[in-house]
């Protein structure tokens, strides 16, 4: 615990696990303050604009550099290897993150979409975003010429939105004609 007085940690948090949960909560608060998902819920935005905003905020949280980057790193680590902080992430971030994107995808697919279809689309969109965090080092090695602009959030956002919208619009058309 980086020079912290173990007795102070025990006094304030009870044990290391509780201390870690407090760190996770703090990371969530920092991420929410810096990159709020609420921007994507703006009802004056079209569904496509909401999707663009949502994806941009998620990519910013995942790919931010410097001191704020630890928020995204902590979240990714918890997803890969759940610990005491995992339930905090599920209840304080993941559930609302998925529900917010679910509303946007539902607006794009229309009322005929089955909930399973909507959820799978939500998972696919989030998967595209998290891929760039999980595979960051691999992509840098594979594309040393800068082919994948890892730091270009706008480029990644535009690609993920275009790719997702193509699929979502095709699905919406299929649902309407069924």
Three-state SS for 83-119 is: CCCHHHHHHHHHHHHHHHHHHHHHHHHCCCCCHHHHH
Domain boundaries, given as residue ranges, for the chain:
6-177
Does the 6-177 domain belong in CATH 3.30.70.330?
A: no
pLDDT digits (tens, 9 = 90+) for 108-145: 999 999 999 999 999 999 999 989 888 888 888 887 76
Stretch 137-160: mean pLDDT, rounded? 78
CA atoms within 13 A on the CB side of 9: 15
* Per-residue buried b or exposed e for 99-125, using 16+ beta carbons within 10 Å of the residue's own CB: ebbeebbbebbeeebeeebbeebbeeb
CA distance 57 to 164: 16
pLDDT digits (tens, 9 = 90+) for 37-94: 999 999 999 999 999 999 999 998 888 776 556 777 777 788 889 988 888 888 888 8
Specify the DSSP class assigned to residue 146.
Answer: S
């Amino acid at each position: 615990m980086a020079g912290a007085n173990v007795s102070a940690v025990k006094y304030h948090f009870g044990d290391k696990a509780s201390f870690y949960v407090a760190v996770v909560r703090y990371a969530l608060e920092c991420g929410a303050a810096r990159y709020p998902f609420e921007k994507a819920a703006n009802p004056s935005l079209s569904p496509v604009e909401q999707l663009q905003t949502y994806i941009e905020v998620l990519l910013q949280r995942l790919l931010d550099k410097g001191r704020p980057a630890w928020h995204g790193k902590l979240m990714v680590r918890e997803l890969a290897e759940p610990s005491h902080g995992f339930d905090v992430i599920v209840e304080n971030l993941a559930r609302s993150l998925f529900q917010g994107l679910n509303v946007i995808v539902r607006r794009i697919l229309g009322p005929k979409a089955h909930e399973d279809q909507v959820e799978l689309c939500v998972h696919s969109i989030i998967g595209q975003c998290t891929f760039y965090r999980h595979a960051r080092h691999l992509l840098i090695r594979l594309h040393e010429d800068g082919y994948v602009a890892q730091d270009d959030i706008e480029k990644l956002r535009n690609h993920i939105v275009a790719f997702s919208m193509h699929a979502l619009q095709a699905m919406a058309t299929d649902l309407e004609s069924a």
